[in-house]
Amino acid sequence: MINKDSVEVLTNRIRKLEKDIESHKAVAKELKESEKRYSHIFEHSPVMVYRTDSNNKLVDINKSGLDLLGYSSRDEIIGMEARLIYADPQDRVRFLQKIEKCGFIPEFETSFRRKDGTVIDVQTSTARRNINGNMDGYEGFVIDITARKKAERALIESEEKYRTVAENSLAAIFIHQKTRFCYANQRFVELLGYDSPSDILGKPFWAVVHPEDRPVVKERGLRRPKKDFFPHQYPFRGLKKDGSSIWVELRVARASYMGQPAVIGNFIDISQSKRAEEEIRLLTHRLIEASERERKTIAADIHDEFGQALTALHFNLEAMQRSLPTDAMEQINKFSNLISTVEKLADVVRKTTSYIRPDVLDHLGLIPAMEWYIKELTQRHPDIKIKLEVTGLKKRLNPETETVLYRFCQECLTNVRKHAKATSVIIMLTNSYPWVIFIIKDNGSGFKQSDNGLPKNIKTQGIGLQSMKERVAALRGKIDITSAPRKGTIIRIELPIT
């Protein structure tokens, strides 16, 4: 006979069993849903997902993995040893050693061999799978990084190529950013007498510029980031580590470096050419001096020999004319014609000697000589209006400077008359210590300029200007020419006052 207590105990057990069954059903349902979700992720993942067993054989792989490795079905690859898909078996050994130590590898780069034998670069993320405390295999993801690795190799090769070019270049190459050097090649280091690039990096650009040239270089450097400017190359004196100077030509261009605006440039050592220029300048100076002495001598000889001979001839003809009878009108008229011809010859001799070397330049100075020349020119060409403005010149300049300025005035006014066909000319002469500045402006036809400022058609227009540039350079002066077709010409020269 079953007692009441036994029935109650049995009932409680049955109820508990029913609850356990319900609980297991819920867990089974959740597990099924979880497996369904995992299966969906596994199958539709855009990257390769795989699993291996404890013997390192593939037990599962998704479609993306099949596509990555070039297989058409799982049957072809399931059961294959994982090491066989590695292009280098040693990579698999390193992989196993690392994962055994850590249990998880977030990133491991290697190469896989596809079914057709081609090799691809991949990155794996793998974890060790444990069941009941025992290692049951590995599972993870694989990403194709072939394109990225190809780009990285191309970048490395490109950097190596350009690094080789830069480091072996005969030009001193640098990169300047945020007022500091951030790159300098070996030639740059050697040129300025430093021991290594680290001695240059971080220094301001002005540290390698001679103090006397810093204002000009600074002004151009500050303009550079704002807009395009001229010139992109110019010479100055570089400052070496030991304090000595070296002539360099700077060539620069704006660029982007490490994502920020920068300037890339190079120095070319032009010390030797500067020394050659100085020798040429001195030689030109001596030639000009010799030429002016020769002009002075020729002018004096013409004046003394021809002038005196013509004066004597003039007196003799007049004396002979006076000795003729008053009724010998035919002979008197012939003598009058001869006397007139002699006077014209004397005038030609006077003008020729003045053009070759005007006495007024030697005796009275530059300004009276220019005024005389302008007066002579406007008398012969009244259609040209010339205005001379002089400021601050109370004393005479040295003879060499006066001669160059006078010859320059002559050459410019000759060009105005022959080529520019100008009707208005303004000449300004200014003492702006330590320079004397000469500016001439005209409203003539102008001309197309070449890179050096001279006319492009130098055969017909620029020979005289080229000669004057050499004269200015011989005195360490500066010249600037601005012109354009139908817009006239402005020429400015600056000569040091010594």
More confident residue, 466 or 482: 482
Q: How confident is the model at residue 420 (pLDDT cuts 50, 70, 90)?
A: confident
Asked whether residue 153 is domain-assigned, the answer is no
pLDDT at 337: 87
pLDDT at 87 over 80: yes
Q: How confident is the model at residue 436 (pLDDT cuts 50, 70, 90)?
A: very high
353-375 burial: b if 16+ Cβ within 10 Å, else e: bbebbbbbbeeebbbebbebbbe
Q: How confident is the model at residue 69 (pLDDT cuts 50, 70, 90)?
A: very high
Please count the structural domains in the chain.
Answer: 5
Cis peptide bond prior to 325, omega within 30° of 0: no
**Are 252 and 263 in contact, with CB atoms under 8 Å apart?**
yes
Position of tokens 């400052």?
239
pLDDT at 331: 85
Residue-wise pLDDT tens digits, 253-283: 888 888 888 888 899 898 888 887 777 777 7
Shared domain for 178 and 261, answered yes or no, is yes
Q: Single out the residue in 249, 269, 289 at which a domain terminates.
A: 269
Shared domain for 389 and 493, answered yes or no, is yes
pLDDT at 26 over 80: no
Q: Average of pLDDT values for 436-455?
A: 85
Q: Average of pLDDT values for 483-494?
A: 90
pLDDT at 242: 93
User: Is the four-CA dihedral 370, 371, 375, 381 of positive or negative sign?
Assistant: positive
Asked whether residue 453 is domain-assigned, the answer is yes
Asked whether residue 11 is domain-assigned, the answer is no
pLDDT at 47 over 70: yes
Give, as one character, the DSSP assignment of residue 87.
S
Shared domain for 224 and 102, answered yes or no, is no
**Are 478 and 456 in contact, with CB atoms under 8 Å apart?**
no
- CATH number for the domain spanning 187: value is 3.30.450.20
Phi/psi of residue 244, nearest 5 degrees: -75, 165
Residue-wise pLDDT tens digits, 56-65: 899 999 999 9
Q: How far apart are the first and last CA of the chain?
A: 144
Shared domain for 63 and 173, answered yes or no, is no
pLDDT at 20: 65
Shared domain for 198 and 327, answered yes or no, is no
CA distances from 394 to 302, 352, 367, 391, 397 (A): 33, 30, 10, 9, 9
Q: Single out the residue in 269, 291, 321 at which a domain terminates.
A: 269
pLDDT at 16 over 80: no
pLDDT at 473: 81
Identity of the highest mean pLDDT range in 143-152, 321-330, 341-350, 447-456: 143-152
> Which spans in 416-496 are helix H?
463-474
Contacting residues for 346 by C-beta, under 8 A, at least 6 apart:
307, 310, 311, 314
Asked whether residue 152 is domain-assigned, the answer is no
Asked whether residue 409 is domain-assigned, the answer is yes
Contacting residues for 336 by C-beta, under 8 A, at least 6 apart:
321
More confident residue, 21 or 446: 446
Amino acid occupying residue 179: T
pLDDT at 407: 84
Alpha carbon 450 to chain centroid, angstroms: 20
Shared domain for 448 and 497, answered yes or no, is yes
Shared domain for 117 and 189, answered yes or no, is no
Q: Average of pLDDT values for 117-122?
A: 94
Which residues span the domain enclosing 123? 46-144
Of 275, 291, 483, nearest to 404 by C-alpha is: 291
pLDDT at 226 over 60: no
Shared domain for 176 and 127, answered yes or no, is no
Phi/psi of residue 311, nearest 5 degrees: -65, -45
Shared domain for 436 and 335, answered yes or no, is no
Phi/psi of residue 247, nearest 5 degrees: -75, 130
pLDDT at 227: 52
Whats the size of the chain, residue-wise?
498
Instruction: Give the rounded percent of residues in the chain with a pLDDT score beyond 90.
Output: 29
What's the order of all strands across the beta sheet hosting 48-53? Answer: 58-61, 48-53, 134-144, 119-131, 104-113
- CATH number for the domain spanning 399: value is 3.30.565.10
Shared domain for 263 and 278, answered yes or no, is no
Asked whether residue 119 is domain-assigned, the answer is yes
Shared domain for 24 and 135, answered yes or no, is no
Angle at 96 between CA 92 and CA 101, to 5 degrees: 150
pLDDT at 35: 57
Distance (Å, whole) CA 134 – CA 432: 96
Q: What is the dihedral of CA 306, 307, 309, 311, to 10 degrees?
A: 160
Shared domain for 493 and 373, answered yes or no, is yes
Which range among 21-30, 215-224, 337-346, 391-400 shows the weakest confidence by mean pLDDT? Answer: 21-30
Instruction: Give the rounded percent of residues in the chain with a pLDDT score beyond 70.
Output: 84
pLDDT at 222: 66
Token pair, residue 250, equals 């700077």
Q: Average of pLDDT values for 289-317?
A: 72
Q: How confident is the model at residue 355 (pLDDT cuts 50, 70, 90)?
A: low
pLDDT at 177 over 60: yes
Q: How confident is the model at residue 48 (pLDDT cuts 50, 70, 90)?
A: very high
pLDDT at 159: 77
